[in-house]
Amino acid sequence: MVDVTQDVLVKRIGYEAERINSYELVARTGGELAPFTAGSHIDLQLPNGMIRSYSLVNDQRERHRYVIAVNKDAESRGGSSFVHDSVRVGDIMTISRPRNNFALHEEADHSVLIAGGIGITPLLSMIRRLEAIGRCWELFYAARTRAAAAFLDELDTLERGSRIHLDFDDERSGRLFDLPAIVGNASAHTHLYCCGPVPMLTAFEAATADRPADHVHVEYFQARETPATEGGFDVKLARSNRTIAVERGKTILDALLDAGITANYACTEGVCGTCETRVIEGTPDHRDQFLSKEEQAANKSVMICCSGAKSRTLVLDL
Ligand code: FES
């Protein structure tokens, strides 16, 4: 469940690339939607009970619509395939308000954006913003094939000079999508953004390890680590004064929901931040990609959908 929701109407569905559709969502009763900034996402509460997060693709100056793009993942566990197979124009959907975990630093002199596949979505919104405020940017966009790359038409209308670098697996002729070189060629003041599949993000993080952390920005769509389901510890809920045992095979979130406790969550993979919970006492076993290394080391909060505990008890602000 997500905390603040609103109903929207599916106004338009568009074909953007092989297995990628865009969905234009407008307020059910007309009028304006809550504002958002480039890099934001919304959570869709699907009728099959799943909650999935999707980045907003459109221009943040637009208040009459949200546009998302959904990649029908071959390994979908019911999220993207449900959207592709079941959502139709005219449907009403429940969504969260936009949240931004991947904010654009508008003051940067130069921004380098690196996208893999559907990872183009938040970056496209960022490009629209950088264009609107007259900032300098460069895009590196990799996809399996040209036909599988979404929004190429729109990128074409933006292209000036050599700021957009496309790389398709099936068209390579000795030219590799070389992340260390891309990062190495960027000036020390450049802000670097990456969104794509886990191997790309891992390579990006390795290539940027020596850069200042506040100049390096990553958005994960999928979990990199397996969730903590080893169990064997208790969660004490400070506000309700209850103690819940987390058994083997369950995450903290599973244990709470099974005990009838209401908790906020969306992705259940440690990437969206919706389930972040303050830690009052104890040591979490962090398995998320949302908190920075420093935040994880501080142990002040935990993503209860995927993280466990290193201590026998974890006292949470719930
Ligand atoms: S629900 Fe998304 S990080 Fe936990």
In which element (H, E) is residue 301 found?
strand 301-303
- Residue 1 is predicted with a pLDDT of 55
pLDDT at 103 over 60: yes
Q: Residue holding tokens 């729109």?
A: 154
Q: Ligand 1: which of 291, 303, 307 to mutate, most ligand atoms within 8 Å of CB?
A: 303
Q: Is-contact 243 236, C-beta < 8 A?
A: yes
Q: Is-contact 49 23, C-beta < 8 A?
A: no
CA of 277 to the centre of ligand 1 (A): 10
Q: Are residues 266 and 302 in the same domain?
A: yes
- Cα 148 to Cα 2, 18, 154, 192, 286: the distances in Å are 31, 5, 15, 24, 34
- Name the token pair of 80: 């993207």
Boundary (domain end) residue, out of 190, 220, 250: 220
CA of 31 to the centre of ligand 1 (A): 30
Decide if 143 is inside a domain: yes
CA of 182 to the centre of ligand 1 (A): 31
Q: Are residues 71 and 161 in the same domain?
A: no
Q: Are residues 202 and 274 in the same domain?
A: no
Q: Whose CA is closest to 180, among 140, 152, 120, 213? A: 140
Among the atoms of ligand 1, which is closest to the Cα of residue 273? 3
- Name the token pair of 84: 């592709």
Q: Are residues 136 and 210 in the same domain?
A: yes
Q: How many domains does the chain have?
A: 3
Q: Are residues 68 and 124 in the same domain?
A: no
Boundary (domain end) residue, out of 175, 199, 220: 220
Boundary (domain end) residue, out of 199, 220, 241: 220
Among the atoms of ligand 1, which is closest to the Cα of residue 288? 3
Q: Are residues 250 and 207 in the same domain?
A: no
Q: Ligand 1: which of 305, 307, 316, 318 to mutate, most ligand atoms within 8 Å of CB?
A: 305
CA of 47 to the centre of ligand 1 (A): 19
pLDDT tens for 164-202 read 999 898 887 545 578 999 999 999 999 999 999 988 999
Report the chain's mean pLDDT, rounded to a whole number: 92
Q: Which one of 20-29, 155-164, 215-224 scores highest in mean pLDDT?
A: 20-29
Q: Are residues 119 and 57 in the same domain?
A: no
pLDDT range class, residue 293, cuts 50, 70, 90? confident
Q: Are residues 190 and 142 in the same domain?
A: yes
Q: Which stretch of 50-59, 165-174, 223-232 has the lowest confidence by average pLDDT?
A: 165-174
Among the atoms of ligand 1, which is closest to the Cα of residue 303? 4
Q: Are residues 117 and 203 in the same domain?
A: yes
pLDDT at 32 over 60: yes
Q: Is-contact 36 43, C-beta < 8 A?
A: no
Decide if 31 is inside a domain: yes
Alpha carbons 83 and 200: distance in angstroms, whole number: 25
Decide if 228 is inside a domain: no
pLDDT at 85 over 90: yes
Instruction: Find the CATH number of the domain harbouring 142.
Output: 3.40.50.80
Instruction: Find the CATH number of the domain harbouring 274.
Output: 3.10.20.30
User: The domain containing residue 200 runs over which residues?
Assistant: 110-220
Decide if 164 is inside a domain: yes
CA of 188 to the centre of ligand 1 (A): 33
- Residue 254 is predicted with a pLDDT of 95
Decide if 87 is inside a domain: yes
Q: Are residues 29 and 121 in the same domain?
A: no
Decide if 105 is inside a domain: no
- Residue 108 is predicted with a pLDDT of 96
What is the CA angle 285-286-289, rounded to 5? 165
Q: Are residues 119 and 89 in the same domain?
A: no
Alpha carbons 149 and 143: distance in angstroms, whole number: 6
Among the atoms of ligand 1, which is closest to the Cα of residue 264? 1
**What average pLDDT does the segment 203-219 reach?**
94
Decide if 33 is inside a domain: yes
Decide if 227 is inside a domain: no
Q: Are residues 250 and 164 in the same domain?
A: no
